Amino acid sequence: MSRMLPELNPPERLLMGPGPSNVDPRILRAMATPVIGHLDPAFLGLMDETMGWLRQVYQTRNHHTVPISATGSAGIETMLVNLLEPGDDVVVGIIGYFGQRMADVAARTGANVRVIEAPLGESIPPERFEEELKRKPAKLVAMVHAETSTGAEQEVAAVAEIAHRYGALLAIDCVTSLGGMPVKIDEWDVDAAASCSQKCLGAPPGLSPVTFGPRAMEVVSGRKSRCQSWYLDLNLLFAYWGDGKANTRVFHHTGPITMIYAMREALRIVLEEGLEARFARHRKAHEAFVAGLEAMGLSLFTRGRRLPMLNVINIPEGIDDLTVRRRLLEENIEISGGFGPLAGRTWRVGLMGVNANPAPVMRLLSALETALVEQGYRCERGAAVAAARAVYKQ
């Protein structure tokens, strides 16, 4: 006997947390196109096109630049399990939760992990990496470019120069930064990088774009032991994606066809807008949002180098974190709370992709002002939106 079951009907949210961000309608339309086989010649052509556009967004000539068929965390793991073997030394820079996660993943490879830490909300001065490498060499330096838990940016180019001077590779997590601020793989001389699909690129979660340079691939091809992950083994993956030499492709896994469509369209949108224009749009959204916060008497937690797309806000005294976030959710707006020691003390607001625009910024500021006033917070009504508008008019 047949029966009718409820149709899928999720609420329409304005996703202003640390990710995922709202998906561009063009990407959703691309995902509704017909599925073809993962070894169909037409799809192999789309794979090549996607690789080429991803290189442009990463600002690199690295052939080995692909979206891994898994979320951003798998991209970080792809870097570490391919570059590290048991007994290798790795220096991990930690400026927040995701740096700690890198150290955890590195330790699971059997490598000897040495950490350099900065206080939450701050970055690590490059000279501290030099001090550590001078004390003892390492095979790899790994760090987070844009720390999602604290809103801090870690300088990359200077650390890359130091790492290479002491014979180490440099791998970076740019999960939050790619597509929203400069990530210059070749100019900075980065050996490996990993990101995600669902933040500034504006596609749904499900893919992790990675790039590996010549030095990194030399290490991968010269491993003494097999990669501990079959699924993430680059030597196997590039038999499917193409090694840049042979025209043949060998089955490795069933590629997520629809997600590759989404990534291709996301990259097309980025490149049509232009990288510099896109970076400027994210920076302007950040400036307008911060002006609105300051007009409400709020401040950012992050000190020093702040990310434009991820804003960590100090929660005012007497204001309950969850009450505000639940009130925003009633207005179909999502923001996130802090991680670990910052839980209950901060909110995390993402201004990513299509949400790094005036309308989402104004809507969030207005709703946040209302939620705060309802808890007894005192501020001038309308001042936040007026301050943000003034920035956009400049």
What domains are defined for the chain?
Answer: 25-272 (3.40.640.10), 275-393 (3.90.1150.10)
The pLDDT of residue 252 is 87
pLDDT averages per 10-residue partition of the chain, 394 residues: 90 97 97 94 93 98 96 97 98 97 98 98 98 98 98 98 98 98 98 98 98 98 95 92 76 92 98 98 98 98 95 97 98 95 96 98 98 95 97 96
The pLDDT of residue 340 is 87
Place of tokens 């820079």: 93
- Find, among 232, 222, 193, 227, the residue nearest to 209 by Cα: 193
Task: Compute φ and ψ for 211, nearest 5 degrees.
Answer: -140, 140
The pLDDT of residue 113 is 98
The pLDDT of residue 246 is 63
The answer to whether 352 and 200 have CB atoms below 8 angstroms apart is: yes
Flag whether the pTM goes above 0.85: yes
Angle between helices 72-83 and 214-221 (to 10 degrees): 60
Helix or strand or coil: residue 78?
Answer: helix
Q: How many CB atoms lie within 10 A of CB 137?
A: 12
CB burial string 178-210: b at 16+ within 10 A, e below: bbbbebebeebbbbbbbbbbbbbbbbbbbbbbb
Q: What is the DSSP string of 283-336?
A: HHHHHHHHHHHHHTT--BS--SSB-SSEEEEEPPTT--HHHHHHHHHHTTEE-E
